[in-house]
Amino acid sequence: MRILRVIATMNPKSGGPCQGIRNSIPVQKKAGISNEVVSLDIPGENFLKENEFKIHALGPVKGPYAYCKNLENWLKENLERFDIVIIHGLWLHNSYGTFRVWNTIKRRNKKIPELYVMPHGMLDPYFQKARSRKIKALRNWIFWNLIEKKVVNGADGLLFTCVEEMELAKRTFSNYKPKRTLNVGYGISSPPEKKEADYNNFLKKCPKLENRSYWLFLSRIHPKKGVDLLIKSYLKLKEQDSELPDLVIAGPGLESDYGQQMQKLGDNASIHFPGMLTGKTKWAAFHYSECFILPSHQENYGIAVVEAMACKKPVLITDQVNIWREIKNGKGGLISKDNLEGVCDVLKTWSNLSDRKKFELGRNAWNVFREKFSVENTALKMLDHFKVSKDLRNFNPRLKPEKFQEPVSNL
């Protein structure tokens, strides 16, 4: 089976969708599935060089819509080579641009691959209701009525990462009538081993941390992520308990206006801003943290949340992170409302837990990852839903589940 993924950018700074592609393709490759990626990036970008699969970078693009003149011709010449096409994301040229070419070929009764759309949370009602997004919400409403509903309703189906995302998508726009809605899940690979050398490299990014225990936030420094709620809650709790662990706020966006505001707000010796962490340094930040915190106002999936659980770390999140039910049911963390009172309460609750209870939550978090969010369990799940022939299905043997090692207590 040959799958084509079409995405606006494979830049890791753009967030979870491109990382999800990087996680799933190697697993599908082991099962005989061939993947190629079309992105609208400029050829030669550093983040395009170290991938184990073919990326066709067709950029540059023009304007906020990311119009790419090379996309149409490439699709016309190559689309029929594939059995499945997946559009990742909405609202940019990679979405409607792909659908238009696909639909044109379909009308001519030519061989055509199945077309699916993975919205990655972009149909969440939050984006139409948030006060800070009034102009963008109007733009999306216009785009929806002009072109985007054609993509959503005209494709063979929509692929969702979890049940919550699938249900929320129904509440955003009128005339939402997709042919099929499929909860295909989402997963990550198991993290690298915990190594002191990697931790030392992490400490170089946070030189004032000096081996003290810490809580970790790792995501974009963006208003949607609730960083202001976290800093305010932490400082309030720190006044009451001077022995509280330090707080590390890692991620891209420090140079933005909001990022600079957060650095001023968090101007405290116990708060550290190392910027974006990658590779083994990022994993060391997870491994050596006490817990992971994401007080987001909207999170379709939250790859960093799952990465933390894969490192056996309890997660402190809001009920606006769409996988909160799975985490709550698996007792892998603590859930709060996405307001100051809720975040304060969850931090205080965590700080008052016994070491044994914290370990139990970490073990549970790892179990949730293993059962729900391991890429070995999710990367091929979507193929069960596709309407491909039996010959193509039989071509893809299921992988044997990865052998997981039970976390060891450090109590």
Instruction: Say which amino acid occupies 322.
Output: N
* Same domain assignment for residues 105 and 208: no
Strand partners, 67: 62
Examine residue 334 and state whether it is found in any structural domain, yes or no. yes
**Is 357 a domain residue?**
yes
- 269-324: pLDDT as tens digits: 999 999 999 999 999 999 999 999 999 999 988 889 999 999 999 999 999 999 99
Residues 13 and 101 in one domain: yes
Q: In whole angstroms, how far apart are CA 329 and each of 301, 325, 334, 395?
A: 16, 6, 11, 36
pLDDT tens digits along 167-213: 999 999 999 999 999 998 888 888 999 999 999 999 999 999 998 99
pLDDT at 224 over 90: yes
Is there a single domain that holds both residue 126 and residue 202? no
What range defines the domain where residue 101 resides?
Answer: 2-187+375-394
Domain membership of residue 409 (yes or no) is no
Q: Could you give the number of structural domains in the chain?
A: 2
pLDDT tens-place string over residues 357-407: 999 999 999 999 999 998 887 877 777 777 654 444 444 444 444 444 444
* Same-domain pairing of 290 and 157: no
In this structure, what CATH number is given to the domain that contains residue 213? 3.40.50.2000
| Residue 82 and residue 207 share a domain | no
